[in-house]
Amino acid sequence: MSIQDLVDDFEFLDEWEDRYRYVIELGKELEPLTDAEHSRENKVEGCVSQVWLVSELRENAGGAPLLHFRGDSDAHIVRGLIAILMRLFSDKTPEEILNVDARAVFAALGLNEHLTPQRSNGLNSMVARIRSDAKAVAAAASA
């Protein structure tokens, strides 16, 4: 599912309760993390809920590095937000990841004005972590 598909789905849902339910449904589609991956190293700081993100380095058909992300949270809504972030960032090159304007996407989805300040801070922490991983891979590839 593309980001535009997601935007279209959100536009189709008139009520915010329906949109929240949809976000929760998206979270049910996350790739699972193992018990070992629910570790301190994978925990995202700055989130009120517990959030874990795992990044895996892969290659595309041409041998360029791609980052594949998986995540989990103990909160249903946050799991849905992670699912949206996976659609934005997973299986992309570091350059593609660094060029994504996550705030613009969340604004297009209408989520900016409907997330609590704590959830917004957590979302920003997750995006910062993903961008940090992308910067590290880009730096290693150019070295």
Query: What tens digit of pLDDT does each residue of 67-86 get?
Result: 999 999 999 999 999 999 99
Q: Residue for token digits 């979302």? A: 123
For residue 86, the enclosing domain spans 3-142
Task: Please give the model's pTM, rounded to 2 decimal places.
Answer: 0.92
pLDDT on residue 133: 96
Structurally, how many domains does the chain consist of?
1
pLDDT on residue 64: 85
Q: Which residues are catalytic?
A: 47
pLDDT on residue 35: 96
- In this structure, are residues 19 and 13 in contact, taking their beta carbons and an 8 Å threshold? yes
Q: Residue for token digits 């004005």? A: 113
pLDDT on residue 131: 97
Phi, psi of 39 (to 5 degrees): -110, 170
The CATH code of the domain that includes 79 is 3.90.1010.10
Residues of the chain with pLDDT under 50: none
Q: Residue for token digits 């998206």? A: 26
